Homo-oligomer: A and B are copies of this chain.
Amino acid sequence: MEQAKIRLYVDQPLAAGQAVAVGEGQANYLFNVMRLTPGAPVALFNGQDGEWLARVEQAGKRAGILRAEVQVAPLRLPPDLWLLFAPVKKARTDFIVEKAVELGVARILPVLTRRTQGERTRADKMRAHAIEAAEQCGANIVPEVIEAQPLDRLLAAWPADRRILWADEGLVGTAAAFAGLPPGPWAILIGPEGGFTEEERGRLTKVPQVTPVSLGPRILRAETAAVAAITLWQAHLGDWK
């Protein structure tokens, strides 16, 4: 089977013979930057129909048409894991989103805390970054990115059956607790740089779904804690086990 070098997320249905229109941004990338011509293969995914081999049918400056030929991979869903994190500086927030996609989470929820900078939480930018990460890492879904919400509001409406794994930087010790976690729907919670306030910590310890865990004896930055916590969760409860 011919292997497409370019993978593209589209928000249109994919099926054999289906025409897929590409707009200005993608047309520029495919036909100007990558110089694809009619007949060239492109891999497409839409988060629903798995991965498809498509070919360029019309290549224009501002638009084009691809035609899906055959499914080359079934839909691969990540485990039922959400990532809650307090956005940090731009480059590190991008990094957290990118790594969450690569490591496999189903939903990304930015959380506003007392020490979070509000202007760093544009969900549309995070969505675009999540799509780019999925295109590059071979995932054929894109995690849902929710609008940022204050921690309090999020906890007040938290689903009863979803546990929260709180990477608590106040707990400096061992990561042994991961081995004892029960299966089921989970969310990982990563605090802001500087940590949660005492009030927030008090609030978190009162939520029955919350389990605090330690990520070893060193203080980790937010993005490191996110990758380490998702990795350990995946190895113990997710699809790496």
Closest B residue to A95 by beta carbon equals B95
Given known contacts A174-B240, A240-B174, is B218 in contact with A227 (CB within 8 Å)?
Answer: no
Interface stretch, picked from A31-39, A58-66, A113-121, A231-239, is: A231-239
Which one of A22-30, A46-54, A97-105, A197-205 is at the interface?
A97-105
Does A241 reach chain B (CB closer than 8 Å)? yes
Q: With A175-B240, A216-B239, A235-B232 as given contacts, are A224 and B227 in contact (CB-CB < 8 Å)?
A: yes
Instruction: Tell me whether B174 and A102 are in contact (CB under 8 A).
Output: no
* Chain B CB within 10 A, most for which of A76, A136, A232: A232
A240 to B178, CA, bound (A): 11
Number of copies: 2
Which 3 A-B pairs rank lowest in CB-CB distance, beginning with the nearest? Answer: A216-B240, A175-B240, A228-B231
Determine whether the beta carbon of A104 is less than 8 Å from that of B221. no
Q: Which of A221, A231, A239 has the most CB of B within 10 A?
A: A231
- Please name all residues of chain B whose beta carbon is closer than 8 Å to the beta carbon of A102 when the two chains form the complex: 218, 220-221, 224
Q: A103-B220, A215-B240, A217-B240 are in contact. List 11 more A-B contacts (CB 8 A).
A: A99-B224, A103-B228, A104-B217, A138-B219, A139-B218, A175-B240, A175-B241, A214-B240, A216-B238, A216-B239, A224-B227
Contact B174 A216 (CB under 8 A): no
Residue-wise, chain A 85-110 has the 8 Å CB interface mask toward B (1 for contact) of 00000000001000100111000000
Contact B137 A221 (CB under 8 A): yes
Q: Which of B99, B104, B178, B234 contacts A175 (CB 8 A)?
A: B234
Give the chain B neighbours of A227 by CB distance below 8 A.
99, 224, 227-228, 231
Q: Does A207 have its Cβ within 8 Å of any Cβ on chain B?
A: no
Residue in A215, A234, A241 whose Cβ sees the most chain B Cβ within 10 Å = A234
- The verdict on A224 contacting B176 (CB below 8 Å), with A137-B218, A217-B240 known, is no
Q: Which of B138, B219, B240, B241 contacts A137 (CB 8 A)?
A: B219
Q: What residues of chain B lie closer than 8 Å to A137, measured between beta carbons?
A: 218-221
CB pair A231 B234 closer than 8 Å? no
B232/A216 in contact, CB under 8 A: no
User: Do the beta carbons of A218 and B175 come within 8 Å of each other?
Assistant: no
Cα A232 to Cα B217 in complex, Å, equals 14
